[in-house]
Structure 1
Amino acid sequence: MVDEDFTAEAAVLDAGDPLAAMRDRFLSPQGNDLVAYFDGNSLGRPTADVPQRLAEFTERLWGDRLIRSWDEQWLDWPARVGDRLGALVLGAAPGQTVVADSTTVLLYKLSRAAVDAQAAHGRTEIVLDTDNFPTDRYVLEGIAAERGLTLRWIEADPTTGVTLEQVREAVGPETALAVFSHVAYRSGFLADGPGITAAVHDAGGLILWDLCHSGGSVPVALDEWGADLAVGCTYKYLNGGPGSPALAYVATRHHGHLRQPIWGWIGRKDAFEMGPGYDPADGIRSFISGTPPILAMVPLEASLDLVEEVGIEAIRAKSVALTEFVIRLADQLLVPLGVEVASPRDAATRGGHVTLRRKGFREITAALWAQGVIPDYRDPDGLRIGVSPLSTSFAEVAVGMFALRDAVVDHDTAQ
């Protein structure tokens, strides 16, 4: 009776879900082959009005207004959309957030700007952790090689993440910059944003937060934390679409002091003067380099409308309820089959996804995809259940977890 009990519980949870109507605001697959989508922490679903918005953009702002749209509004979009993200998702006052480039490029820009500014104070170390997302590690390794800096590694437990105590031990008088993910991409561990920020500042360093797995799922309060810098993608919980532009946050107190290394014409004080030499624009616009990806901001704006409608706190409450339901299902259906819950059980230290661990999950994930159940796999032996609060139902979670249980049994039987 376990399946029936969970099916009944899912029906009750869906009936009482204040965000249930939001599911109809997203496109459904035309082929009807999707059973459960557990990969919203890698690529969010498009909102239902994106096709119409893209068509209107193409016909009116692009097709009708043509080049005039740059002067009429497009040049303002990176900062305007950035301010919306700041207000709705990041806890950031206006004028500190911009939308441009990819996460990797923005991470490079902000990190280089930070360590170059700190060089004047004789600070030569970058603090990072062994379990951070590969891009973060690779970019920082490259910057250290470029600038002759030392990397101080924190050995992070992949089932949890970087702790405040570890950061306090790692930072010191040589710390120029510390870079951590707010939500760990493997385990879903939710770091202590304000505590870690304060610890880095106490040592005289700057901090950059990677918000890729928290933006749009977990409330963030960059201004309140006193954060210096942040980057994040917009195609996961923010549903901006594949390759949608990333966000960069630079606290106002650093404007005019930190200078990013990729000097492009849009970031110049008078972009259309086309004159000699580079004089950076005032404020956050100085962190833009080349032509902004305007078309790619259209789906992001559609998603932000939903976030504004319901509020990030309601989104977080639904996220917690979904992940707790996943863990209850895992304990009943999967733990007896040798599966480990590799994410924090305490919601206060858990982001928006749950990682399960077991040998054979790479092959099991492939089998599930063939059945229309879409989680993702991350080494070592990790299967991530990424539930998007605005588009995922509890019934979908139950059906997907039943399929995962059956796939594990089938895998073991075939061995």
Structure 2
Amino acid sequence: MTDFATTKSMFELPDGVIYLHGNSLGPMPKAARARVDEVLDDQWGKMLSTSWNAAGWMALPTELGDRIARLIGAEPGCVMVGDTLSIKVYQALASALELNSGRRVVLSDNGNFPSDLYMADGLLRSLGPDYELRVVDPDDVATHITEEVAVLMLTEVGYQTGLKHDMKALTELAHSAGAIPVDLSGCKADFAIGCTYKYLNGGPGAPGFIYVAPHLRDRVRPALSGWLGHEAPFAFDLDYRPGTGIERMRVGTPPVIQMTALSAAMDIWDMVDIADVRARSIQLTELFIQRVEHSCPDLQLASPRDSALRGSQVSFRFTEGYAAMQALLERGVIGDFRAPDVMRFGFAPLYIDETDVEKAVDILADIIRNRLWDKPEFKIRQRVT
């Protein structure tokens, strides 16, 4: 059994703050500071460029990939960490389209994160007018899977409401990895991509990752043919030859400092059973929904009521949701807002417990019941909501 009291003690959590925002940015592991300092002082500071070999910097993308693989049901040697999530979206889409060259449609839903749709649209426009990005309602995805569809691009857990798709349709893990059990191998996914700065606690700007199924990893041609994905990058050949297996999905230079912070977070994840995380998440989200609906009748549940259809976040609709969230922030409860009226709350059992949930709801109820959100300063829209 996972000891969640121990994992909670391993994160930097300011006094008086209830952090229900791990679905956007996970908190910092306490060990990350010392780990990064070691890289800055002893490696970059003293060993300089020799650190690429002596400190193992070049191996970080695959080492971290294998550690993440355990959490997402992936086979060893099939996950590569590096670059941004958007870059990994582009990589997966481009490779999948080339493997299905006779088809021209990328199918997604309007619950997908807009950035992913932007990346898909930009790629398809560059390929020509015969290609189409087809976006449908989440409930209609299955009926639109036809012979003309080359790629099905879905986020397993929708960013706005937490709606959880059927795993067999999985292509992206931004809101899944570290939140719910994922079985890429068992579901025969071809590609998957995800981020490490949310539930995996890798820090702001932490790199994305990409999964390629074993039967494809030596066949895919990386559209972004970066030099570190070359078979022999330090031969400096003018012609590109893809590397072996998942190595070919490398693009640019690994962000060593950010990956070092991620490695500190993965030390905590190495102590965790993801099934325990999911069970605990359901308990916390059910408690939150029950208490909010009892004490805040003006808020309308936007997330699926059935926990089997919900990720590790809960969203409520409220006409003055933005102002109410600002009032919560002032009281030390951190969630976020998504237009036009959605208040989002993420539940990461590694550092959130029942006491946190109960205190957060009490504060929310006070704000709603006494209209404490109705202040001019709470209605000024910040750049990040």
TM-score of the aligned structures, taking structure 2 as reference length: 0.93
In 1, Cα distance between equivalents of 2:24 and 2:309: 20
Q: How does 1:83-232 map to 2 (within 5 A)?
A: 83-87=66-70, 89-119=71-101, 122-148=102-128, 149-155=131-137, 162-163=138-139, 166-194=140-168, 196=169, 209-232=171-194
Alignment match of 1:258 (pick from 195, 215, 220): 220
Who is 1:368 aligned against? 328
What's the CA shift for 1:17? 9.0
Q: What does the per-residue CA deviation read over 1:322-371, in whole Å, with 9 as the maximum and x for residues that have no partner?
A: 1111111112111x2x2111111211111101001110001111122122
Listed one character per residue, the Cα deviations across residues 371-394 of structure 1 (whole Å, up to 9, x for unaligned) are 222110012311011121101121
Look up the match of 1:77: 60
The aligned counterpart of 2:11 is 26
* CA shift for structure 1 position 116: 2.2
Q: Determine what percentage of the aligned residue pairs are the same residue.
A: 34
Structure 2 counterpart SS, 1:127: strand
Match of 2:383 in 1: none
Structure 2 counterparts to residues 59-74 of structure 1, below 5 A: 59-72=41-54, 73-74=56-57
Rounded to whole Å, the distance in 2 between the matches of 1:350 and 1:176 is 27
Alpha-carbon separation, structure 1, partners of 2:225 and 2:111: 31
Question: How do 1:214-363 residues align onto structure 2 when only pairs under 5 Å count?
Answer: 214-334=176-296, 336=297, 338-363=298-323
Residues 262 and 404 (structure 1 numbering): CA distance in 2 closer, same or farther, change over 3 Å? same
Deviation at 1:112, TM superposition (A): 1.2
Give a deviation string over 1:64-102, Cα, whole Å, max 9, x none: 332222123111110111011002x11011111000011
Please state how far the C-alpha of 1:62 moved relative to its aligned partner. 2.3
Q: Aligned partners of 1:140 and 1:103: how far apart in 2? A: 13
What per-residue deviation string (whole Å, max 9, x for no partner) do you get for residues 144-167 of structure 1? Answer: 211131122212xxxxxx34xx33
Unmatched 5+ residue regions in structure 2? 376-385
Secondary structure class of the residue paired with 1:231: strand
CA distance in 2, matches of 1:250, 1:400: 40
C-alpha distance in 1 between matches for 2:211 and 2:292: 37
Rate the CA distance shift 1:412–1:302 in 2: closer, same or farther, 3 A.
closer
Counterpart Cα distance in 1 of 2:363 and 2:242: 55
Instruction: Give, in whole Å, the separation in 1 of the partners of 2:196 and 2:321.
Output: 28
- Give the superposition deviation at 1:18: 4.2
Indicate conservation of the 8 Å contact 1:340/1:358, yes or no: yes
CA displacement at 1:59 relative to structure 2:
2.3
Q: Deviations over 1:206-251 (max 9, x none)?
A: xxx1111111010100011000111111011100000001111111
Q: Does 1:405 pair with 2:356?
A: no
The one-letter amino acid paired with 1:84 is R
Secondary structure of the structure 2 residue equivalent to 1:60: helix
Deviations 1:173-215 (CA, angstroms, capped at 9, x unpaired): 1111010011111111111112x36xxxxxxxxxxx1111111
Separation of aligned partners in 1, 2:370 and 2:115: 35
Q: Does structure 1 retain, via aligned residues, the 8 Å contact 2:2–2:273?
A: no
Inter-partner Cα distance in structure 2 for 1:414 and 1:281: 58
The question of whether the paired residues in 2 share the 8 Å contact of 1:35 and 1:399 is answered with no
- Kindly state the Cα deviation for residue 23 of structure 1 after the two structures are TM-superposed: 1.2
> What is the TM-score of this pair, normalised by structure 1?
0.86
Shift of 1:291: 0.6
Higher relative helix content: 1
- Please tell me whether residue 53 in structure 1 is matched to residue 13 in structure 2: no
SS in 2 for 1:248: strand
Offset at residue 414 of structure 1 (A): 4.7
1:262 match: secondary structure: coil
Q: Give the Cα–Cα distance (whole angstroms) in 2 for the partners of residues 17 and 270 of structure 1.
A: 42
Q: Distance in 2 between matches of 1:401 and 1:146?
A: 48
- 1:159 matched residue in structure 2: none
CA distance in 2: counterparts of 1:387 and 1:299, whole angstroms = 22
Superposed displacement of residue 412, structure 1: 7.5
1:153 aligns to what SS in structure 2? strand
Cα distance in 2, alignment partners of residues 231 and 342 from structure 1:
26
Specify the code of the residue in structure 2 equivalent to 1:82: G
Q: Which amino acid aligns with 2:8?
A: R
State how far apart, in whole Å, the 2-side matches of 1:240 and 1:412 are: 35
Taking the aligned partners of 1:123 and 1:144, their CA distance within structure 2 comes to 12
Unmatched runs of 5 consecutive residues or more in structure 1: 1-15, 156-161, 198-208
